[in-house]
């Protein structure tokens, strides 16, 4: 295939950069999207190209509800769904709709680094809550609730970015209880919920909307293609009404009406489910390749847990190691990673780094990990 570079942060030819958290070209289903588009255009009415209903096209939301009912194993209701332009856009919108400048939001420590800027753009103050192997530390959350009243808690409950772990079902239940007791929202970024390579993760927050404190964000970026710029919010009707009343939605209608037509076809013809199964098979192999390659080169030097889903390995080194300058040096070795401090709202975790296994096949993963070894 011709190597056309069309995204920001693409690695120079020959470099194996595990900092890139995007699918490899062979996992972007161009043909599947082509077939879905053809089947949509074969019957499209002119009105399909109008603004679209504010919360999203009803036929799409019905199909999505069916997809989530199967995927999450619990009934999803159309009236609780709202179309977004993916989770990044959804994070921007929840910051505008459910918080006001000067409010505090709790984030996990570490967390998805690009969310920090979205929150800060809205004048929100970040307070980091640590995570461990079982996810968000609920005791720490309780402690911080004594001195802060957050507008919301931003959490990545399944196959964390960057940590790779899942918050246990019991902790999710306790977090919902605390949200009700202290009146804050849980903004759950469930972008990796359906990408599991062993047992399914604990139930999604999307299945807990009856608490009226949960705003679950989902996206087609990791299960279909980031370029579709399509996702959804699943929340109770009263919280959904606030999104619908937002000025941007009021003016522009459905956020991505056109993509929702195409993605609806992939749900209705079953090709999305088949594609997700293919992704899971391929990523499972890549996890194994990376884990084995790390065992060969990094045993005794770094600690990590093999992830059971998602995109990432999170490595911790001795406290004396600073991965930030090593990231620059990695370019000389034609490899790369994301250094730990960017994932910290407090500028800590310098001795950690994140590796993505999504952008390279197993052979490249083995070669790239070998190239990284001399850096440490
Ligand atoms: C935790 C998390 N949230 C959001 C995103 C971006 O999602 P989207 O492509 O739907 O905007 C990513 C992508 O890496 C992510 O890892």
Asked whether 227 lines ligand 1 (CB < 6 A), one says no
Q: For residue range 153-186, what is the model confidence (pLDDT) as tens digits?
A: 999 999 999 999 999 999 999 999 999 999 999 9
Q: Is the CB of 21 under 6 A from ligand 1?
A: yes
Closest protein CA for atom 14 of ligand 1: 21
Count the helix, strand and coil residues of the chain and give each as a percent rounded to the nearest 5: 45, 15, 40
Q: What is the mean pLDDT of residues 33-54?
A: 97
Mention every residue, 6+ apart, whose C-beta is less than 8 A from residue 102.
Answer: 123, 124, 125
Please give the average per-residue pLDDT across 103-108, as a whole number: 98
Average pLDDT over residues 133-151: 98
HEC assignment per residue over 109-144: ECCCHHHHHHHHHCCCEEEEEEEECCEECHHHHHHH
- State whether the beta carbon of 226 lies less than 6 angstroms from ligand 1: yes
Taking 60 as the threshold, does the pLDDT of residue 3 lie above it?
no
Q: Give the ligand 1 atom nearest the CA of 221.
A: 9
Question: Average pLDDT of the chain?
Answer: 97
User: Ligand 1 mean position to 87 CA, how many Å?
Assistant: 6
- Asked if residue 221 has pLDDT above 70, the reply is yes
- Is 191 near ligand 1, meaning CB less than 6 Å away? yes
Q: State yes or no: pLDDT of 109 exceeds 80.
A: yes
Q: For ligand 1, say whether the CB of 189 is within 6 Å of any of its atoms.
A: yes
C-beta atoms surrounding 296 within 10 Å: 12
Model confidence at 58: pLDDT above 80? yes
Task: State whether the beta carbon of 219 lies less than 6 angstroms from ligand 1.
Answer: yes
Burial of 361 per CB tally in 10 Å (0-12, 13-18, 19+) = middle
Q: Where are the beta strands (DSSP E) in 174-225?
A: 185-189, 214-219
Nearest CA to ligand 1 atom 9: 221
**The pLDDT of residue 315 is above 80:** yes
**Domains contained in the chain, CATH given:** 22-29+273-375 (3.90.1150.10), 32-269 (3.40.640.10)
Ligand 1 neighbourhood includes 344 CB (under 6 angstroms): no
Regarding pTM above 0.85, the answer is yes
Confidence band of 46 (pLDDT split at 50, 70, 90): very high
135-152 burial, b if ≥16 CB within 10 A, otherwise e? bbbbebbeebbeeeebbb
Cα 68 to ligand 1 centroid, rounded to whole Å: 18
Distance between Cα 235 and ligand 1 center (Å): 19
35: pLDDT strictly greater than 60: yes
Q: Is 108 in the pocket of ligand 1 (CB under 6 A)?
A: no
**Does the pLDDT of residue 224 top 90, yes or no?**
yes
In ligand 1, which atom is closest to the CA atom of 21?
14
pLDDT at 28: 97
Task: Find all residues with CB under 8 Å of 76, minimum gap 6, and list them.
Answer: 64, 65, 66, 68, 69, 206, 207, 234
| DSSP 8-state code for residue 331 | G
Please tell me the residue having the least CA distance from ligand 1 atom 13. Answer: 21
Number of H helices, E strands in the chain: 12, 14
CB atoms within 10 A of CB 289: 19
Ligand 1 geometric centre to CA of 296 (Å): 31
Q: Which one of 88, 108, 263 would you pick to mutate in the ligand 1 pocket, going by the greatest count of ligand atoms within 8 A of its CB?
A: 88
Average pLDDT over residues 272-289: 98
- Using most ligand atoms within 8 A of CB, pick from 189, 192, 313 the residue to mutate for ligand 1: 189
Look up residue 23 and give its two tokens. Answer: 């699918």
Side-by-side strand order, sheet with 338-339: 302-303, 312-317, 352-356, 338-339
* pLDDT for 141 beyond 80: yes
pLDDT of residue 4: 62
């Amino acid at each position: 295939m011709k190597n056309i570079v069309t995204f920001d942060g693409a690695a120079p030819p020959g470099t194996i950069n595990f900092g890139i958290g995007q699918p490899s070209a062979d996992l972007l289903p161009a043909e599947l999207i082509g077939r879905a588009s053809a089947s949509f255009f074969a019957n499209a009415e002119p009105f399909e190209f109008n603004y679209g209903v504010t919360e999203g096209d009803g036929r799409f939301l019905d199909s999505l509800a069916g997809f989530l009912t199967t995927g999450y194993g619990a009934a999803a209701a159309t009236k609780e769904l709202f179309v977004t332009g993916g989770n990044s856009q959804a994070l921007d919108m929840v910051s505008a709709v459910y918080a006001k400048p000067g409010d505090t939001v709790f984030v996990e420590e570490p967390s998805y680094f690009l969310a920090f800027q979205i929150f800060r753009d809205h004048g929100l103050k970040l307070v980091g809550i640590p995570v461990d192997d079982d996810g968000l530390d609920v005791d720490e959350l309780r402690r911080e609730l004594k001195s802060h009243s957050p507008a919301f808690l931003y959490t990545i409950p399944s196959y964390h970015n960057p940590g790779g772990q899942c918050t246990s079902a019991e902790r999710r239940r306790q977090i919902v209880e605390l949200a009700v007791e202290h009146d804050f929202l849980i903004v759950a970024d469930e972008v990796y919920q359906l990408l599991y390579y062993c047992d399914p993760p604990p139930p999604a927050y999307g299945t807990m909307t009856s608490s009226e404190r949960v705003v679950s964000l989902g996206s087609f970026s990791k299960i279909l293609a980031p370029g579709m710029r399509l996702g959804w919010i699943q929340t109770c009707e009263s919280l959904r009404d606030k999104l619908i009343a937002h000025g941007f939605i009021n003016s522009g209608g459905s956020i991505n009406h056109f993509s929702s037509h195409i993605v609806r076809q992939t749900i209705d013809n079953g090709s999305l489910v088949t594609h997700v199964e293919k992704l899971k098979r391929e990523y499972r192999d890549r996890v194994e390749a990376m884990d084995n390659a790390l065992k060969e080169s990094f045993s005794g030097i770094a600690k990590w847990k093999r992830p059971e889903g998602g995109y990432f390995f999170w490595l911790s080194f001795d406290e004396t190691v600073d991965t930030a300058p090593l990231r620059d040096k990695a370019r000389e070795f034609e490899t790369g990673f994301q250094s730990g401090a960017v994932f910290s709202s407090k500028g800590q975790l310098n001795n950690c780094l994140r590796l993505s296994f999504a952008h390279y096949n197993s052979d490249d993963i083995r070669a790239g990990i070998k190239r990284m070894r001399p850096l440490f």
